[in-house]
Amino acid sequence: MRFVRKPLRGKRTASEVLASLTVRARERKVGTAAGLCGEWFGAQAVLAPEVRLEPADDPFAPLRDLPAVPGDGVGGGWFGYLSYDLADPSGRSTGIPRAVWGWADHVLRLDADGQWWFEALTPDVDPAKFEDLVSAEPPPLTWESTELDRPLPHIEAVKACMHAIETGELFQANICTRFTGRFSGDPAGLFAAGVHTLAPRRAAYLEGDWGSVVSLSPELFLARHGVSVQSRPIKGTLPRRGPADEHLGARLRESVKDVAENVMITDLVRNDLGRVCEVGSVRVPELLAVRPAPGVWHLESTVEGRLRGTDEDLLKAAFPPGSVTGAPKIRALDLIAELEPQPRGVYTGAIGLLSPVAGLELNVAIRTFEITGGRIALGVGGGITASSDPRAEWEECLHKAAPLERLLSQPRRAARTAS
């Protein structure tokens, strides 16, 4: 493999170009397009024009024996996801594949300054075919969805979790539920509109014969560049209604419950990375930073270290993400299986890209739609501690889901805005 790149003249947004790439790939019958938008590999977007995303019997196979390729960019690599169901001790599944990967030998990258680049790991792809595409009017991609059905508030599950905490079984667990509905139309249009209207930092779109995943996540699970590893766990939430309430975000740092959530999970992530990083290299350069996300404020911390193993070692040590499981993690996984009536699917797994040029980046698959067989599912949940209020935990779920439910209910307006 050899890294090559060329600047492109177009000025369309990432969501617009992904829509164009999706239609192009379907017409050419070369698989589909995949996209990462927001903050990925130091860029605003990394899009794969042609990739076949297939279920993986061995979810960690792409992480093995991938040679490093020198270059200043991304070039291509393995796009895919690892679902939470891989770690569910009950063995249950939503039916969507537990892991999906696909190789892309060329990508379009929108850098931090708004410049589009064609990048490839082979000289065989002609960049000229993309010159017009990044300037072209995007195709209209529309969808329709029913209002999402909500199960009964999971107050009893929260109470049971709090009882387990009170008896000393664990310190914290993330308890979730699943909203579902009917969906028709184009998931790529939903993703493009979501990126445009919600501006999530770690958005990802994957599509295959098995279905589609539309992830509008704000959270970084893992980034590995060279031997440097970073994770940014999010725990702690307050409703957010706009710039005018920015001062309210500071209240998160005054909340005993929210601060406890974040500190416990940050310590868990530190221990996870400590298993595969050089002794003494793991540190927390930022603790309890207040960050905006669609509809909410979050507390976010940063944990980093120097990897002494492989990407496979890193994933096996840290997956599933600590922020969506609990502490200690093994007991939290068991309790989640006991208290949650449905499997999670891709939700709270990880989605992203492994590049031989740029390294590895994966999000935490929260704020994520799973679409298959004419159905759409949205997982929502939150961290439970000894000081949780069961009814407030349900309200937090509704606050997190609200921007996504509004997006689903306004397909025509959102589709026009995205174009």
Q: List per-residue pLDDT tens for the chain, 419 residues long.
A: 999 999 999 999 999 999 999 999 999 998 999 999 999 999 999 999 999 999 999 999 999 989 999 999 999 999 999 999 999 999 999 999 999 999 999 999 999 999 999 999 999 999 998 999 999 999 999 999 999 999 988 999 999 999 999 999 999 999 999 999 999 999 999 999 999 999 999 999 999 999 999 999 999 999 999 999 999 999 999 888 766 677 777 788 999 999 999 999 999 999 999 999 999 999 999 999 999 898 899 999 999 999 999 999 999 999 999 999 999 999 999 999 999 999 999 999 999 999 999 999 999 999 999 999 999 999 999 999 999 999 999 999 999 999 999 999 986 444 444 43
Please report the pLDDT score of residue 247 as a whole number.
72
SS3 219: coil
SS3 290: strand
Report pTM.
0.96
- Give me the residues paired with residue 48 across strands: 34
Contacts 24+ apart (CB under 8 A), 124-130: 127/6, 127/8, 130/8, 130/49
Alpha-carbon distance values, 263 to 251, 256, 283, 372 (Å): 16, 11, 13, 37
Distance (Å, whole) CA 349 – CA 82:
6
Prior bond to 320 cis, omega within 30? yes
Query: Could you tell me if 203 and 191 are in contact, meaning their C-beta atoms sit under 8 angstroms apart?
Result: yes
Active site residues: 219, 235
SS (H, E, C) 342-403: CCCCCCCCEEEEEECCCEEEEEECCCEEEEECCEEEEEEEEEECCCCCHHHHHHHHHHHHHH
Distance (Å, whole) CA 242 – CA 6:
39
* Lookup: tokens for 332: 């939290």
Region 1-138+145-419: CATH code: 3.60.120.10
